[in-house]
Every structure is written in structure tokens, then in C-alpha cells.
Chain A
Amino acid sequence: MTLTAAVAAASTTAPSAEGHGFLSPTGVEVAFLLVGLLTFGAALVTVTTRQLVHAALWLVVALGGLAVEYLLLSAEFIAWVQVLIYVGSVVVLLLFGLMLTKAPIGRSPDADSGNRWVALIVAVAAAATLVWVVADAFRATWIDLDGAPAGSTEVTGESLFRNWVLPFEGLSVLLLAALVGAIVLSRKAKEEPSPPPVNSHAGAGSSPSVPDSRNHPIEQEGAL
């Protein structure tokens, strides 16, 4: 989640190129800054709120805000993929995990980490690095919003499969390795000699339930 804050922080400071009316911003630039601030605020709330599920939902706002930023930069394809992958799948997975474990309604007194100052330092350092790299790399680049969209699906696809095929394939091999690794790990865990409950048909009932400290006292055996 510190990464989100870092990315959000980076996104708010992007439009600072020279020569392009820094003092007389266009409507799109103003919208970009406002959405960036909103995204940043949502990311801050995500890491500071004491209510776990609220944190996940604020993460939705932050990720959605990033998608709007992509849209404003005319990268339509990237924006929808962002919504599809992050809001539609990653956050759902996150909420699924939260609901399976301890997600009480109201504040969780233990939803605080002793590492938060370290986390803050890491986040600020990551944000500073990203802002520096992005600002240095794209100092004089300016997106022409009036012409043909520079981030349409066609343009993105062409540059991805003409210029960046090797990193793309490398990433896909990496993901495949992660996928195979996850399957191998989950299979190993199953082979441990623990007698399964009679009525369970899935591997859902492995974590012990703590009925006292949660608002949703459910039995997990065979319930899912």
C-alpha cells in the first residue's frame, strides 16, 4: 500500500514541463491536478484508516483515480486495463481475503504497524525516486491532446509489439513462473497429513476461527 501512495504522489507532480503555459493551465491540466490530489488523498486514507475494509474501498478510489489520470493523458487502453485488473480483480481478491480473515465492522485496534515510520521512509524515498526519474526522462515531452490520441489501443499495441516485445515476453515468462510456483506451493501444503473434516470439499477450512474478536462468527468448514 505504500507503493500506491508513492505512485499517487508521483502522478500528482507529473505536468511540470517548461514552455507550455505553466502559469496559464488548460482545463485538462487543472482536471489532471485535481484528480491527482483526490487520488493522493484516497491513497493517504487507505494507509492511515483503522477500518480494514474501508482501506480496501479507498484503494478502489485511488486506483480509479489513476485510471482517470490515464484517460486524461489520452491513454484510453491503459486506463481500462487498469480498471479491469486492479479494481475488478485485485481489489476483489483483497476483499475476499479480508472477509475470510478478520474484518470487523468499525475500528480494528490492532490495525497499526510498528513499522510505519520505516514504511513512510521507504514510501517517500520511492516517491522521490519515481518523481525524479519521470521528471528527468520526460522533461521536455508534451502530449498533444488535440491531435490523434497518442495512447489509443492501436498506438499502444504497435509500440508494445514492435519496440518492447522482449521485455513483454520476459514479463510473461516471469508471470508464468509465478503461476507455476503458486500451484506447486499450494499442492505441497495439501500433502501434509492433516485429517480433513468430513463435510469439507474444498481447502477453505484451514485457518482457525476466532469468534470472540470479530463481528462475523462464521464456521468456515464447508461453508464456502
Chain B
Amino acid sequence: MNDALDVALRLLVVFVVFLTFPLIVGQTEHKVMAHMQGRLGPMYAGGFHGWAQLVADGVKFAQKEDVVPAGADRRIFQLAPAVALLPYLLVLLAIPIGPGEGAVGEVIDAGIFFVLAVMGVGVLGSLMAGWASANKFSLLGGLRTAAQLLAYELPMLLAAASVAMAAGTVSLPGILDAFEWWWLPWQIVGAVVFFVAGLAELQRPPFDMPVADSEIIFGAYTEYTGLRFALFLLAEYAGIIVLCGLTTVLFLGGWHGPWGADGLGWVWTLLKTAVLAFVVIWLRVTYPRLREDQLQKLSWTLLVPLSLVQIALTGIVKVVIR
């Protein structure tokens, strides 16, 4: 009975995090982008600096009519948002935020493989949406999504493999237990590759070719309205949380910090995740969108060789220090 309660409590906490953190990131994006561009951003909803803007957006989305195009493949069209969103909820279960077994939703033996595998499934949602909408912009968006995923999955996996080699385990809490501060410079190339490839997998700017609004309207999500559209947006922001959390855990030492690792480990994790999320927003404001060929070139000619170099370096150092 106690076990069941424990499991239920963990699931509840992860679910609440899953529902609130993406909104916080979204609101921060509104405000940070605005101030970086010399604007104020949302100021009215909720009173104090427009804090309730996304709540208001949510209410608006819920009121809109749920339209399915006449020519669409109805069932797949309606299923796609769930397929896009749910994998991120599952990934969130496996990310440890503090030391010990109590600070992770579920300890998974092959943690790295689990998170990367399940994150890859989320892209299926975009593909389904792109094909089932019966819209040429959607189809083009779906195609670009697939091409992008195929290009960036490999460097992401290789960078994660480097950390797994360094730690000698593929379990996420295990990697954190083995972490030392000098891993930071040692794995820095892998960290950059992982983060950039993750951004591309989430289709965040400057890698937002699949949803390029000036060319193909909104890519695979063009035909979506109301709540289903909101679910796709939620998936994107949940993806930011998951990517930043994973980068923190794999490369930045998670709950390790200069002091206070005993009681305040989770603060370090959240702090690092928040800083990375800020970087994600910052990159969006800073860089223009990459063209499709530039995007493919970046992955195959830069990120993949870099991640291979990182793996070689990891192997060499590992053999030397043993």
C-alpha cells in the first residue's frame, strides 16, 4: 500500500512538473524575447507584468472550435498531438533531480537509451500530423521534420555515448554518481554537440526549418486549431525542459555543485536547467533560420565528426587514467 502511494505521488509530481514548467518557460520566452527586442511583452493578463498570459492563451485555445479538414485522415490527424506530447512526459520520469533514489520518478537501468529512444518517438507525431492533414505545406513540414531527425539523431546519440563511456554506466543516476568536476572541460565538445542536436530535434530556432512560417505557414501543424494545436506547442516547450534537463544531467553534473549537495542538490539541477532554457530562448532571438542544406551540412560535416572526436578523446583519457 505504501509502495503504491509512493509511486502515485511520484507520478503526480512528475505530471505537475510536466504541466507547469513548460508554461514557465513559455512565459519567460515572451518576456525575455520582448526585452531583448526593446519591447515590454505581455503586460495586462493577470495584472503583474502579464504573468497570466499563457493561462489566458490556454483558455482561448480551449474555447476554439476543433476543426478537422474534410480531406484529412481523421483518426491519424486526431491522434498525432498525443503521440507528439506523451513521449516527453515519459522522458521526464527518468530524469533525476537530486542525489539518491528518492529524487527520480523511476530509476531505469538503461536510462540514456530510454530517454533518447522515447524522444525519437515524439517526432512520429509531427510526421503523422504532416501526412494526415492533406495539405501540401503540412506534408513539406513533415518531410523536413523527418530529414532533420535523421540528420541530428546520430550526433546526439554519439555525444551521449561519450558520457556513458566516461561514467562506465548508461543509467542516469549512475552517471551523476560518477561525475567529477573535470568532466566539464573533458566533455565540453560533446555537450555542445548534444545541445545543438537536441535543439534541432525540437525544431527550435535557428533549426525551425520544418515550421518556417515565411515559407510553409506552420509546417506539419498548419491545419491544427484549438486544443490540439496547443498540445503541439506544449510538446515543444516540454521538449525544451527535457533537453535542458538531460544536458544538465549528462554534461553539467546535475545535482553536483560547489556547495550544498546534501540538501540543495535539486536547486542546482533546476538552476542549471533554467540557465540552459534561457540560452535556448537567447539563441532564438539571436540567430536567423538555417536553410535546409545548411542545416544538413552542419550536422553531417561538423557535428558528427566533432562527436566522433569527442568519443575518441573520451576513450583515450579513460585508458590513460585507468
Contact = CB atoms under 8 A, between A and B. Distances in A.
Interface of A: 53-54, 57, 60, 76-77, 80-81, 83-84, 87-89, 91-93, 95-96, 98-100, 103, 105-106, 149, 152-153, 201-202, 215-218, 223-224
A201 B293 contact: yes
Contact of A89 (B72, B120, B139, B147): B120
A202 B131 contact: no
A77 B124 contact: no
Contacts of A92: 120, 123-124, 127, 146, 149-150
29 contacts: A53-B76, A54-B76, A57-B128, A60-B124, A77-B109, A77-B110, A83-B120, A83-B121, A84-B113, A87-B121, A89-B120, A91-B124, A92-B149, A95-B124, A95-B146, A96-B127, A99-B146, A103-B131, A105-B72, A105-B73, A105-B132, A105-B134, A153-B109, A153-B110, A153-B113, A201-B292, A218-B139, A223-B140, A224-B140
B146 A96 contact: yes
B123 A217 contact: no
A89 B146 contact: no
B143 A96 contact: yes
A218 B140 contact: yes
B33 to A, nearest CB: 29
B110 A99 contact: no
Nearest to A80: B113
B62 interface: no
A89 B150 contact: yes
Interface string B70-103: 0111001000000000000000000000000000
A130 to B, nearest CB: 25
B117 A83 contact: yes
B76 A57 contact: yes
Given A80-B117, A83-B118, A93 B71 contact: no
Interface in B107-137: 108-110, 113-114, 116-118, 120-121, 123-124, 127-128, 130-132, 134, 136
Given A77-B109, A99-B139, 7 more contacts: A80-B110, A84-B117, A84-B120, A92-B146, A95-B127, A105-B131, A216-B136
B166 to A, nearest CB: 16
A55 B120 CA distance: 19
A200 to B, nearest CB: 10
A23 B319 CA distance: 53
Nearest to B122: A88
Interface of B: 71-73, 76, 108-110, 113-114, 116-118, 120-121, 123-124, 127-128, 130-132, 134, 136, 139-140, 142-144, 146-147, 149-150, 153, 157, 169-171, 292-293, 296
A75 B234 CA distance: 33
Nearest to B128: A57
B108 A96 contact: no
Contacts of A98: 131
Among A60, A89, A100, chain B packs the most CB atoms within 10 A around the CB of A89
Given A89-B153, A92-B146, A92-B149, A224 B109 contact: no
B19 to A, nearest CB: 25
A95 B136 contact: no
A221 to B, nearest CB: 12
Contacts of A57: 76, 128
B113 A77 contact: yes
Contact of A149 (B109, B123, B293): B109
A224 B144 contact: yes
A217 B116 contact: no
Contact of A224 (B108, B124, B147, B149): B147
A54 B74 CA distance: 12
